[in-house]
Structure 1
C-alpha cells in the first residue's frame, strides 16, 4: 500500500470523475475520495459514511462534515456534524490501520467529497 499524506489529498480540487457507491447506489464519490480509499485502505470509511445516510438524523442534513480522528493506540472516533459543530452522529472505532491521524470528508446531497474538491 502506498503512503497517504495530507498533501496528496490537497491535490484534488474539483471533481473530474465520479464513482458510484456499490452498496448505496444513490451515493457517488469523487476521485479524491477514491484515492483516499484505495491508497489509505479506507473503503470501510467510505462505506460507513455512505451507509450511515440511512440514519434519519444523518440523512436530514443536506451538508455533513465527517471527521475521523485516529489515536496513537489505533482506536478512532468518527464524527458527523452539520458544518456548524452540531454533532449528528459519533462512534468509536475499536481499531484501524488508517495511515493519517485525522481526515475530513464532506457529504453534499448524495456526493461524498474531500473539502478541497468543493
Structure 2
C-alpha cells in the first residue's frame, strides 16, 4: 500500500492522456484519474461527480464546459464541492464516512472528461 505522499507524487507525473476510459454513466476519465481510482479505491468518487451532472447543475452555463471538484477529508468524513471558478461554490455534498487516504484532491471536469489538474 502506498503512502499518501507517494500517491500525490505519482499523480503529478500525469500530464496528458492518450487513453480515455468510459464510465458507466457515459462520461469519460483519463489515465491519471484511473490511477487515482485504482490506487485509492475511489471509483465511488467518480460515481459521485458524474451523478451530479444533471440538467439542474448543467443549466448553469458556467458549468457546461468546465467544473472544479474538491474532495476534502478530515477524520474519515469528507465534503465534495463543485466550483465553477476558484471559491465560487455551487454544490456541496457531505460524505459521512470515507477511507480516502488523501486530505484533499482537486479534479477538473472539462466538457465530459474528468482529469487531474496536471492533465489540463
TM-score by length of 2: 0.88
Aligned partner of 1:82 among 81, 84, 90: 84
Q: What RMSD over aligned residues (CA atoms) do the two structures have, in Å?
A: 1.5
* CA distance 1:86–1:58, shift in 2 (3 Å): farther
Show CA shifts across 1:10-55 (max 9, x none): 1100112100001x11x10001000101111100001111111125
Q: Which moved more, 1:107-116 or 1:51-60?
A: 51-60
Matched positions, count:
115
Question: Is 1:52 matched up with 2:52?
Answer: yes
Contact 1:53 1:59 in 2 (8 A): no
Question: What is the CA–CA distance in structure 2 between the aligned matches of 1:83 and 1:97, rounded to whole Å?
Answer: 28
Question: What is the CA–CA distance in structure 1 between the aligned matches of 2:31 and 2:58, rounded to whole Å?
Answer: 23
Q: Which position in structure 1 is the counterpart of 2:106?
A: 104
TM-superposed deviation, 1:88: 1.2
Residue segments in structure 1 that go unaligned for 5+ positions in a row = none
Residue segments in structure 2 that go unaligned for 5+ positions in a row = none
TM-score by length of 1: 0.90
* CA distance 1:58–1:70, shift in 2 (3 Å): farther
TM-superposed deviation, 1:83: 2.1
Q: Which position in structure 1 is the counterpart of 2:118?
A: 116
Q: Which position in structure 2 is the counterpart of 1:34?
A: 34
Misfit runs of 4+, over 6 Å: none
Aligned partner of 2:71 among 54, 68, 78: 68
Question: What is the CA–CA distance in structure 1 between the aligned matches of 2:76 and 2:105, rounded to whole Å?
Answer: 14
